[in-house]
Structure 1
Amino acid sequence: MTIAPQNDLLDHKFDMCFGHADQNKDGVVDAADILTFAARVIAAVGEPFDSPKSVEMLRVCENWWKGMVAELDTDKDGKIDPEEYRVGMRRLVGSASSFEAASRPVATAIWSLCDRDDDGEVTAAEFSAVQLAFGTTPENARLGFKKLDLDGDGSLSVDELTSAFRDFYTSTDIDTNGNWLFGADFQTV
């Protein structure tokens, strides 16, 4: 286990995720960014935008945004800047129940989108589309899937994906498997 200075590693991961959320790269996250994020994931997996899975992803992301802006937007301008995001995420990840309540619906919606053939399993090929949408290289997507597949059965469960979210956002162990949620990009700390 390699423990990094907590604020350095977590802040780096928070900054990376802020960059994913800031879809138009204007330096703040707003409702349009979150809906664009949802559309990006939907398009990456090839799901029709009017399907029940897509509608659910959009609904979950809208609720996610409402929760984020309520908790993180301290100046109440309807936008979250990088500092608000860092401070708010530190507070959010400090509460296991709050973090679970915020992350599980998103993980579940992403998992459902990834399960293209509706067989109840998300394979490496199905999950790699989401990782590639975030700029993960194909090799890192392959390695990342292996790291996230905690039981080694060749598919991701909602629990494994939720665990990856939790580990990514909360762990100061640079070697934790959840750090592969978006490939190995953050490991340049």
Structure 2
Amino acid sequence: MLGQVQKSNIDRVFDTLDITRDGVLGADDFRTMAQRMVALREHMEPRLLAEIQGTFAAWWETIRQAADVEGNGHISREEFTAAAARGLDQDPEYVDKMIRVSEVTFRAADEEGDGLLTRSQVERIYQAFGVDEALSAETFRRIDLNGDGTVSIEEFVSAARDVWTSNDPKAPGAAMFGSVA
């Protein structure tokens, strides 16, 4: 059963994934997100480009298989929330499937390839996903666990995990997509 923080986060994840703002998730939303991740860099290595496209396509397929109960290629908010609740409750690998995209998103934004993101790189991820940029400063502060002014891939992925699993509104990643109830 989902806690209040999880419900709030899953609702915000749906809003973020619904790039077309048509109230349903579809393959176009995920293709657009992949294109936006590719656009984070002026020059994208072909291997990373293929990884981004493949990861977002696989993410869509995972979500579609779990949530598209009508088989129409579109996922409503209710279908998405119900599938997330089932996945979190029944599939020990569910969270890993949902956060894989955070790893490739991190690598897309890490232009220097040093395994660290600056505040401006995190802001660019927020812009690409269409998330309120005002949230990026608070998110950066919360997920920079060691306070060194950068976010490591471990910190970033751990925060993404919090989005799905934490019911603590003070958890570093619990408010990645907005304030939690």
| TM-score class normalised by the smaller sequence | 0.7 to 0.9
- Select between 57-66 and 118-127 the one with higher mean Cα deviation: 118-127
How far, CA to CA, are the matches of 2:96 and 2:11 in structure 1?
A: 21
- SS of the counterpart of 1:177? coil
Instruction: Tell which deviates more after alignment, 93-102 or 81-90.
Output: 93-102
Partner in structure 1 of residue 179 of structure 2: 186
1:136 matches 2:132: yes
- Measure, in 2, the Cα distance between the counterparts of 1:101 and 1:86: 17
How many pairs were matched up? 180
State the partner residue of 1:176.
171
Show structure 1 runs of 5+ residues with no match. 1-5
1:53 aligns with 2:82: no
Q: Could you say which residue in structure 2 is the equivalent of 1:73?
A: 68
Alpha-carbon offset, residue 47 of structure 1: 4.2
The CA RMSD over aligned residues, in Å, is: 2.3
Amino acid corresponding to residue 54 of structure 1 in structure 2: L
Query: Who is 1:26 aligned against?
Result: 22
Q: 1:46 to 1:86 in 2, by over 3 A?
A: same
Question: Is the contact made by 1:47 and 1:113 (CA closer than 8 Å) also made in structure 2?
Answer: no
Check the 8 A contact 2:16/2:131 in 1, yes or no: no
Structure 2 gap segments, 5+ residues each = none
Provide TM-score, normalisation by structure 2: 0.86
Q: Percent identity?
A: 25
Tell me the CA shift for residue 148 of structure 1.
0.8
The amino acid that maps onto 2:75 is I
Q: Tell me what 1:112 maps to.
A: 107
Contact 2:169–2:175 at 8 Å: present in 1 too? no
Matched, 1:147 2:166: no
More helix as a share of residues: 1
Instruction: Letter of the 2:36 partner, please give it.
Output: R
Other-structure match for 1:101: 96
Letter in 2 for 1:26: D
